[in-house]
């Protein structure tokens, strides 16, 4: 009964998320520098090991996302979202931020901090002439804004250029209600068979549900079920097979779901057991869920056009790094001027 009860509680918690019109998510790594470097040492080629600065950045990195919709999220299409915001933060604060508000898309970046952490320092905005335009403002950490419609049109033009001569692109396949129900039933059967649930209560309406399963077995069976509706998935979507998971560890991984008064507030997925070295002591993905705050348009943003951004970026980069890299014989040669 405990398995059924826990599964029902999780189903209800996820259903509640779909009924919301605004949500926020924060994803971060619960790890430390030593564990990251130990994990990297297993995969990195000699001489390409992760630096201390990058390890520090990733160990404290957070991705925050907030969305608002005119409809419940489970029924929302792309045109129903009225505002979105995404932010990438590190130990020194916000490194990149993006907002979609009304008809405008806003963005800014801490280029100095990113360059310092990656070991590839960027020039100071003061070193660039005013003619560097958007690139200079970007390096200065200022907000830029561009028409969302223009962004969409540019994306469509680029997609059209890539598919030129192939006729009109076909509509992306979608899952009808009957297929969705069939798929969800199959996936829930896999979870019921392979996942062990344990529940524990707490104070103030808080409850923890821990779901544990062997990694390789669970992933293999989940994708076996997904293949039943592969024809309905977007063209080109290749699903991994059992052979692809053959070398994956089959150690058990645990996801800890935190519910408060029946609502999902946090998910922690412990992946340390999958590491092939005991030096990886701490490695988990943590997702926190909250009520979405409406994204606001930042004050003082500079309006730019897509062609201005490209032109000023190339020009600003040339001024920053030298004409030998961006002059007639260099980088610009690969980008025909229109």
pLDDT tens-digit map of 25-81: 999 989 989 888 888 887 778 888 888 888 888 888 899 999 999 998 888 877 888
pTM over 0.85: no
CA distances from 179 to 41, 74, 130, 175, 185 (A): 43, 16, 56, 6, 10
Burial class for 55, CB neighbours closer than 10 Å (0-12, 13-18, 19+): buried
Cα 182 off chain centre by: 28
Compute the distance between CA of residue 166 and CA of residue 162 in angstroms, rounded to an integer.
Answer: 9
Tens of pLDDT, residues 72-126: 888 887 788 889 999 999 887 888 999 999 889 999 989 888 777 666 777 778 8
């Amino acid at each position: 009964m405990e398995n059924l009860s826990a599964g029902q509680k999780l189903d209800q918690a996820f259903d509640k998320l779909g009924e919301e019109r605004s949500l926020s998510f924060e994803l971060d790594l619960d790890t430390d520098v030593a564990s990251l470097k130990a994990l990297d040492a297993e995969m990195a080629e000699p001489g390409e090991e992760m630096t201390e600065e990058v390890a520090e950045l990733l160990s404290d990195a957070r991705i925050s996302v907030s969305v608002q919709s005119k409809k419940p999220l489970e029924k929302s299409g792309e045109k129903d979202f009225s505002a979105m915001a995404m932010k990438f933060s590190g130990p020194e604060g916000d490194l990149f931020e993006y907002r979609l508000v009304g008809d405008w898309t806003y963005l800014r970046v801490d280029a100095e901090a990113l360059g310092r952490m990656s070991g590839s320092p960027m020039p100071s905005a003061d070193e660039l002439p005013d003619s560097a335009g958007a690139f200079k403002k970007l390096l200065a950490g200022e907000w830029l804004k561009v028409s969302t419609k223009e962004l969409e049109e540019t994306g469509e033009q680029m997609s059209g250029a890539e598919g030129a001569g192939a006729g009109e692109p076909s509509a992306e396949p979608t899952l009808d209600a009957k297929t969705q129900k069939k798929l969800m039933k199959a996936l829930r059967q896999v979870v019921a068979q392979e996942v062990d649930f344990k529940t524990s209560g707490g104070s103030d309406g808080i409850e923890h549900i821990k779901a544990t399963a062997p990694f390789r077995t669970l992933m293999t069976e989940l994708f076996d079920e997904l293949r039943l509706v592969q024809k309905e998935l977007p063209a080109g979507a290749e699903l991994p097979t059992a052979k692809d998971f053959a070398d994956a560890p089959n150690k058990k991984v645990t996801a800890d779901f935190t519910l408060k008064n029946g609502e999902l507030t946090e998910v922690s997925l412990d992946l340390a057991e999958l590491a092939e070295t005991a030096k990886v002591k701490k490695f988990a993905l943590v997702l926190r869920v909250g009520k979405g705050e409406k994204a606001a348009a930042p004050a003082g943003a500079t309006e730019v056009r897509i062609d201005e951004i490209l032109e000023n970026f190339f020009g600003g980069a040339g001024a920053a790094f030298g004409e030998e890299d961006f002059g007639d014989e260099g980088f610009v040669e690969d980008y025909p001027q229109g």
